[in-house]
Amino acid sequence: MNFSHSAKTQGLMKQVRDFLENEILPAEPAWLEEVGNDDPNWQEWKAPATMEALKAKARSAGLWNLFLPESDFGAGLSNVEYAPLAEIMGTTLIASEVFNCSAPDTGNMEVLVKYGNQAQQDRWLMPLLDGRTRSVFFMTEPGVASSDATNMEATATLKGDEIILNGRKWWSTGVGHPNCEFGIFMGVTDPNAPRHAQHSMVIVPMNTPGVTIKRMLPVFNLYDKPSGHGEVWFENVVLPRENIIAGPGRGFEIAQGRLGPGRIHHCMRCIGAAELALRLMCERSTQRVAFGKPLALLGGNGDIIANARINIDMARLLTMKAAYLMDTVGVKGAMSEISQIKVVAPQLSLDIIDQAIQMHGGAGVSNDFPLASMYAQQRTLRLADGPDEVHRRQIAKIELKKYLKK
Ligand SMILES: Cc1cc2nc3c(=O)[nH]c(=O)nc-3n(C[C@H](O)[C@H](O)[C@H](O)COP(=O)(O)OP(=O)(O)OC[C@H]3O[C@@H](n4cnc5c(N)ncnc54)[C@H](O)[C@@H]3O)c2cc1C
């Protein structure tokens, strides 16, 4: 297994790191200022000019769409090559958006690159690749346990040349962004088809009659402006049949392809966040003194720091293994590893952020350090993209297959 950094990756890592230090970190306070205080009135949310300016700079520096392995559309990097860049991006809250590498747009772009037809790519993919628009992914539903995606009740019904959407979705991340122009909706088209061939994915422009954003859901009491997480109702939303991606009944097949690379991105960003938390913990605990010693030398703090280093390095190696397998044998051959990292990385970053908060004392939960908002963000990753238990179930299934009789 070889996942050492190529010369190309090393060059990009330096460029991304330099851009982060010279452009993004100095602009972050202005971005925070512009986003402003928490506010559920999403109709009034604005796209921060600081972000748009940073995006323009990143694009002209060639640091754009780095996540896309298809060189016709993006940087043409493999998962192994992109993973360390995602880790660097994970050390700030806004970097992945600056480089046009943020969810859910990344997953939606991947879907449109792989499964979209020419007209869908021209109309919906190109503006996303340009960073002019944002998008949303409508899968989770308030009425059913969505950990099991086959529970989905929303419908995408074919009628002549049209497809009609009905149902309620929630946790629709990005739907509050003023530049969010469309979503990819998943719903049941043929309830009599085999379990994984019932659903379709459909492109739904946000201004279609019958699409209503009912509310934004707060996460730990914050609305994640300006993207937000919405509850959205679909009531007899009529769209041309051409809006179906790849064809009726192919929703699960597309979802499978969509989730693999996204999990590498998420997990490497978690590792970046864990690295930042460890750095902050070391800086604080070596500078502050109690009972006559630096905090780092009190009680079990040295062990906490050592364990953080061990766990970060283990999680990174596991994630790189998953990336390597995806590059060499594909998503199907990397199923167990993809689930393993999705359990390990968010839990690891959460633990280290929690320990860093503790070592900062009261300052750790204030806004003087990014730890509190990092904690809230990382906590959601143990649910988003499937809760830990569902991934463990998948790992166990693959493991037990070797032993259980059919
Ligand atoms: C911040 C955030 C952003 C999100 N963004 C999006 C988005 O953009 N688009 C989208 O479609 N969805 C999104 N989601 C939704 C997310 O994917 C779902 O919340 C997740 O899949 C779980 O579904 P559920 O909430 O219905 O939980 P449920 O299915 O009700 O599960 C609840 C709990 O049951 C337990 N459980 C479930 N299955 C098992 C099992 N097999 N074994 C043991 N215990 C089990 C787990 O503890 C689980 O957390 C987002 C969620 C959050 C929090």
**Domain identity same for 172 and 287:** no
The domain boundary, picked from 186, 218, 249, lies at 249
What gap in Å lies between CA 99 and CA 402, rounded to an integer? 42
**Domain identity same for 332 and 206:** no
**Domain identity same for 259 and 367:** yes
CB-ligand 1 contact for 381 (6 Å cutoff): no
**Domain identity same for 266 and 395:** yes
**Domain identity same for 212 and 177:** yes
How many domains does the structure of the chain reveal?
A: 3
CB-ligand 1 contact for 173 (6 Å cutoff): yes
Which numbered atom of ligand 1 lies nearest the CA of 390? 41
Q: Is residue 376 in a domain?
A: yes
CA distances 402 to 84, 144, 363, Å, are 33, 32, 50
The domain boundary, picked from 129, 149, 170, lies at 129
**Domain identity same for 93 and 178:** no
Nearest CA to ligand 1 atom 25: 146
Q: Which helix (H) or strand (E) holds 128?
A: helix 126-129
Residues in the chain with pLDDT values less than 50: none
CB-ligand 1 contact for 393 (6 Å cutoff): yes
What lies within 8 Å, CB to CB, of 159 at 6+ separation is none
Q: Is residue 1 in a domain?
A: no
Q: Is residue 2 in a domain?
A: no
Q: Could you tell me which of 272, 261, 232 has the C-alpha nearest to residue 338?
A: 261
Respond yes or no on whether the N-terminal peptide bond of residue 226 is cis (omega within 30° of 0).
yes
Which numbered atom of ligand 1 lies nearest the CA of 386? 21
**Cα-to-centroid distance, 391 and ligand 1 (Å):** 11
For the chain, the average pLDDT equals 96
Q: Is residue 118 in a domain?
A: yes
202: domain CATH number is 2.40.110.10
Nearest CA to ligand 1 atom 1: 380
What gap in Å lies between CA 216 and CA 345, rounded to an integer? 27
**What SS3 class is residue 205?**
strand
CB-ligand 1 contact for 384 (6 Å cutoff): yes
**Domain identity same for 58 and 94:** yes
Q: Is residue 196 in a domain?
A: yes
Predicted pLDDT of residue 214: 97
Q: Is residue 71 in a domain?
A: yes
CA distances 372 to 86, 108, 203, Å, are 21, 29, 36
Question: Using an 8 Å Cβ cutoff, are 253 and 75 in contact?
Answer: no
**Domain identity same for 177 and 293:** no
Predicted pLDDT of residue 406: 64
The best mutation among 137, 146, 147, 221 to test binding of ligand 1, ranked by most ligand atoms within 8 Å of the C-beta, falls on: 147
pTM of the model: 0.96
**Domain identity same for 233 and 273:** no
**Domain identity same for 256 and 393:** yes
Range of the domain at 150: 134-249
- In order, the DSSP letters of 2-37 are --PPPHHHHHHHHHHHHHIIIIIHHHHHHHHHHH-S
Tens of pLDDT, residues 177-190: 999 999 999 999 99
**Domain identity same for 260 and 376:** yes
**Domain identity same for 191 and 278:** no
The domain boundary, picked from 111, 129, 147, lies at 129
CB-ligand 1 contact for 385 (6 Å cutoff): yes
CB-ligand 1 contact for 166 (6 Å cutoff): no
Nearest CA to ligand 1 atom 48: 387
- Tell me the residue type at 13: M
